[in-house]
Amino acid sequence: MAAQSLQFPRRSLLFMPGDSLKKIQKAATWEVDTVIMDLEDGVAQNRKEAARAVVGEALLTLGFGPRERLVRLNHISTGLPPVEIDATCMGRPDGYIVPKAEDESDLRAVDRLLDAAEKRLGLRDGAFRLFAMIETALGVMNLKEIARATPRLEGLIFGAEDLAGDMGAARTRDAWEVFYARSAVVTAAAAYKLQAFDMVFTDFNDAAGLETESRVARQLGYTGKTCIHPNQTPVVNAVFSPSVEEVDRAQRLVAAFEEQQAAGAGAFTFEGKMVDMPMLVAARKVLARAGTTESLSP
């Protein structure tokens, strides 16, 4: 179980096909927090080897600035993760993503591969972060085991499209067919001190729809959202960044609490409402996120 990292804001996580150096190079300059170089669904079967070489080259030669660099592997059952990690670990990505995680064994198998890679490279234990994609019904049922599988795990990523296919559900704009799973993922992440990242919004020409879906995700407790097009990342970044008004209110609430504590007072009211500890915790989280996004925004 990993503590939530504040090194990267992780509001927007953009998938880029791993077999296109040109697209990855462009992503390294876009308004995005995390670039995910994809070796799985975004790459045709006959391009897997080429994608490994391209991602390895990108990690070694491109400057990503403050952007986090992740690699999405293929599922361990394909036999590809060992060669994928070998081909990319020299570029020292910030972490790897396990797709379609269904139980703790999926993560532990990759964890062992990363342990070996860190030893070969002389890196500290846990240098490579790990993220799990929850996109099957079995993965949803095994969230507790997945979330506790390895200390290097930092986040859960919800994948609605694959989940709907696995369930035989019809995808709709309102997404009620995946609401249970969407809620379960963010709840499990909170329970085990992980970050949670929401599903992709597939219509990259509908900015209003993306904003609405992103706001719902933030209300549910998600800390960021996966994207499939660079046009989506500014919208997502804006939604998942605390507003000026939110930061100002949080600062005033924390200041009021500290004044009350110094005076020896317990419970107190703030702007007409009784303040309790959950409100204070929420305010401090707003300030922590505001500090991170201000210092690391592209």
Q: How many CB atoms lie under 10 A from the CB of residue 261?
A: 11
276 is catalytic: yes
Beta bridge pairs of residue 198: 225
Please name which of 70, 231, 220 lies closest in space to residue 158, comparing C-alpha atoms.
Answer: 220
In the set 41, 162, 166, 276, the catalytic residue is: 276
Cα 168 to Cα 100, 164, 173, 179: the distances in Å are 16, 6, 16, 15
Quote the tokens at residue 277: 């500890």
Q: How many CB atoms lie under 10 A from the CB of residue 294?
A: 12
Return left, alpha or beta for 10; rule: phi > 0 is left, psi -120 to 50 is alpha, else beta: left
Q: With DSSP H G I counted as helix, E B as strand and the rest as coil, what are the percentages for the chain, rounded to 5? A: 50, 15, 35
Do 218 and 210 touch, CB atoms closer than 8 A? no
Instruction: Tell me which residues are annotated as active site.
Output: 276
